[in-house]
Amino acid sequence: EAGVAQSPRYKIIEKRQSVAFWCNPISGHATLYWYQQILGQGPKLLIQFQNNGVVDDSQLPKDRFSAERLKGVDSTLKIQPAKLEDSAVYLCASSSFAGAGELFFGEGSRLTVL
């Protein structure tokens, strides 16, 4: 079974530029999450989708971050404009609706903002 796919793996941009990350969850998984993990910290939830609807985006900085999951499958997370403090690994995870609670993570997209 294919795992969660993410791209790009690495991205370096200058502050005020924009960047987009893509995620394809495990086939059949209804729930998709974007987490931000800053070095030395645990993952922090940015947004959670159930199919193509948003369940929780309370910690998403909406003035610069946006995310969509138009067809209830893959998802895109965008940052515009980027700030130095956005340097982090952006992890996408998915889980099955009736699952026992396990989150399956992709390898992450490592962003460096200069």
In the complex, minimum distance from the CB of residue 59 to other proteins, in angstroms, rounded to a whole number: 10
- Regarding 109 and contact with other proteins (CB under 8 A), the answer is no
Say if residues 49 and 68 touch (Cβ distance below 8 Å).
no
With contacts defined by CB under 8 A, name the span among 14-22, 70-78, 79-87, 105-113 that binds other proteins.
Answer: 105-113
Amino acid 95 reads S
Nearer to other proteins, 10 or 18 (CB): 10
Token pair of 62, please? 């909406």
- Regarding 97 and contact with other proteins (CB under 8 A), the answer is yes
Q: Cβ neighbours of residue 63 under 8 Å, at least 6 residues apart? A: none
In the complex, minimum distance from the CB of residue 10 to other proteins, in angstroms, rounded to a whole number: 11
Encoded one letter per residue, x for contact with other proteins by CB under 8 A and - for no contact, window 23-42 reads -------xx-x-x----xxx
Token pair of 98, please? 């009736």
Residues forming a β-bridge with 33: 48, 93
